[in-house]
Amino acid sequence: MSRTRCTAAGRGICGAVLLAVAILPASPAAGQPDPRQMSGIPLPDPQLPAGTITVRVVRGSLSNNVSDQPVELREGDNVATAVTDAEGRAEFLTLNPGATVVAATELDGVRLESQPFPVPGQGGIRLMLVGAADPALAAAPAESGTVTFGADSRIVLELGEEVLNVFYLLDIMNDRPVPVEPGAPITLALPSGATGATMMGGSTPRAVAAGAQVSVPGPFEPGLTPLRVGFVLPYSGESLVMEQTMPVTLESLLLFVEKWGAMDVASEQIARRADMNPEGADGQTYIIAAGPPVASGATVSLEISGLPYHSRLPAMLALGVAFVFLGTGAWGAATPKREADGAERRRRLESRREKRFRDLVRNEQQHRAGRIGDTKYANRRHELMTELERIYAELDDEVAPVLLGPSVAAAGAPPVTSRSGSAG
C-alpha cells in the first residue's frame, strides 16, 4: 500500500494552513496574528494573475516594510531574483504550473526562507518573509523568560505501511524584543512507540533528536525558531491512540490527518474540523482540525480510527498450524525410534533367554553323562534358573508366558509355566 509522504516539511498541507484557519474560525480569545507566525507560509490568492507570486519582506511588524531588498525564487537549480518596491513587495511571474519553488532573502545577516510550495495553475500566491525587529537586538544579552509553540504550529499525520508518518511543524515563539533563556532546553518526549525520529529540513540546527526525545537548547532570539521533527508510529489494529505531552504552551492545536477510506480522528481537544483537499496534496483528502491552547505540561491525546491494516489472525492461525505440524512431526519422528529401541531390547533379552536355555540343557546332559558331580550340577542349575527368572521379569508383558522347549523337557527338566515358576 503506497502512501504519499509529507516531504519538504508538509508542502501542500502547509500551503493551506491559512485557508484552514479561515474556514475554522479562531477562538474569541485569539488576538491579531503575529506576522512572525505567518513568515514563509504561502497563501493562495485567486485574485492574482495565474502563476504570479508576490513576496513581501518586513522587519518585525507589518508597518516596517523593507524596500530595495533582493529576493530569490528558486526552482531546483534555477534562481530568479527580484527587488522589493516601496511596499516591501517583490513580484515574480512563473510559467511552470506545478513546479515546486522556494522564496528566500537574506535580511540583516539572517537568511529567511519560505516553505516549499507548488506554482498554482490558477491564481497566484502571496507570502511574507519576516525578519527581526531590530538588528541590534542580536547582540543583546539573553534574559530569563518563557517561550511557546506559536499558533501556527501544527501536527501532520500521513499513512504508511501499517505506520503513521508523524510530522511536528512547530514554531518556538519568543514574543519579547530580546533573546530569552528558558533556563533548560525544550525537551519533547515523543509518543510511546515512536521510532526513527529525525530533524527535518528547515529546522533550527540546534535541535537534536536522540532516540524518542528531541531537545532544543536556548537562548531563543526574538520571533520564530522553527522546530521540524519527523518520526514513525507503528500500529497493529484499526485504531491508535497517540499522546504527546507539551513541554511549553501550545498556543493553538492545529492538526492535519491524511484521510484514507473510513479514517477519522477524535479528541476532546478538537473544537472545529473539516475535510479538505489542499492545493499541492495531489487530490488527497485531509482532515483539518483545530482546538484551543494546550498548557505547558498538558497532553494532546488523539485517537485515530478506521486505519487500514492486515489482520494478524490468519498469521496466528498459520503459526498455530505450523506448531501442530512440527509437534506431530517430532512425535512421529520419535515414535519409530521408541519402537526401534523396544524391539532391540526384546531381541537382546530373547537372545539371552535362548542362551540360558541351551546352558541349562548342557548342564543336564553333562550331569547324566557323569561329567559333573551333583553339587556342581545343582549350583549351576540354580544359577541358570535364577537368571531366566530375571530375564522374564524384564520382558514383563512384552512377551507371553513361555514354556521351556521340548529339548529341555526331553532332558528331564520340569516345565516352567510362569516367570516365578521354579523347579524342585
Contact in structure between 10 and 153 (CB atoms under 8 Å): no
Is the per-residue pLDDT at 240 higher than 80? yes
Please name the residue ranges forming H helices in 158-299: none
Contact in structure between 147 and 180 (CB atoms under 8 Å): yes
Q: What's the pLDDT at 29?
A: 39
Q: What's the pLDDT at 202?
A: 82
C-alpha closest to that of 207 among 227, 221, 223: 227
Q: What's the pLDDT at 424?
A: 38
DSSP annotation of 250 reads B
Is the per-residue pLDDT at 280 higher than 60? no
Mean pLDDT is lowest, of 8-17, 233-242, 271-280, for 8-17
pLDDT confidence tier of residue 62, bands split at 50, 70 and 90 = confident
Is the per-residue pLDDT at 115 higher than 90? yes
Q: What's the pLDDT at 177?
A: 82
318 vs 159, which has greater pLDDT?
Answer: 159
Residues 267 and 289: their CA atoms lie apart, in Å, by 10
How far lies 70's CA from each of 66, 108, 114, 118, in Å? Answer: 10, 12, 15, 21
- Which residues are registered as beta bridge partners of 174? 223
Is the per-residue pLDDT at 197 higher than 80? yes
Is the per-residue pLDDT at 117 higher than 90? yes
Q: What's the pLDDT at 19?
A: 45
Q: What's the pLDDT at 241?
A: 93
Q: What's the pLDDT at 293?
A: 95
The reported pTM is 0.51
Contact in structure between 176 and 222 (CB atoms under 8 Å): yes
DSSP string, 135-168: GGGGGSPPEE---EE-TT-EEEEEE-SSEEEEEE
pLDDT confidence tier of residue 136, bands split at 50, 70 and 90 = low
Q: What's the pLDDT at 327?
A: 65
220 vs 310, which has greater pLDDT?
Answer: 220
Mean pLDDT is lowest, of 20-24, 106-110, 260-264, for 20-24
